[in-house]
Amino acid sequence: MEKSNTSMITITSEAAMHIRTLLAEQTGSSAQGLRLTVTKGGCAGHQYIMTLGSQETGDQVITRDEACVFVDAESIAFLAGCTLAYENSLTASGFRIINPQAARSCGCGTSFEPQ
């Protein structure tokens, strides 16, 4: 697996732990990490898509604490400088992307408008 030397996305330790937990629960799966993609859509214009998967040609690979995040070439520009966090509170539970490039984000946190 080719790994990136640049850290264009920061992965928090909680997010890395949760990625490892999700992968451990996937018996019989060939998934090796979290795939993070940006597509057009959502209520703010672009949306984050997260799935468990494996590295594909052209992906940038970001690692932390043995957890891998794969980002396709088309999504890299939208995610530069982001932080991938995992939140588990009374009001929210799940992965959260803190994106300094977002002019605005929707209330659910899964879509954004780029600057």
The structural domain count of the chain equals: 1
CATH number assigned to the domain comprising residue 71? 2.60.300.12
pLDDT at 39: 85
**Residue 114 falls inside a structural domain:** no
**Residue 110 falls inside a structural domain:** no
Q: In this model, does residue 5 exceed pLDDT 60?
A: no
Separation CA 36–CA 34 (nearest Å):
6
**Residue 1 falls inside a structural domain:** no
**Residue 47 falls inside a structural domain:** yes
pLDDT band at residue 12 using 50, 70 and 90 as cut-offs: very high
**Residue 111 falls inside a structural domain:** no
Encoding tokens for residue 4?
A: 């990136």
**Residue 17 falls inside a structural domain:** yes
pLDDT at 114: 60
pLDDT band at residue 111 using 50, 70 and 90 as cut-offs: low
User: Which residues form the domain of 53?
Assistant: 9-104
Kindly report, residue by residue over 54-82, the tens digit of the pLDDT. Answer: 999 999 999 999 999 999 999 998 888 99
Q: In this model, does residue 104 exceed pLDDT 60?
A: no
| Averaged pLDDT for residues 109-113 | 56
Q: In this model, does residue 17 exceed pLDDT 90?
A: yes
In DSSP notation, 52-97 reads EE---TT-EEEEETTEEEEE-TTTHHHHTTEEEEEEESSS-EEEEE
**Residue 63 falls inside a structural domain:** yes
**Residue 3 falls inside a structural domain:** no
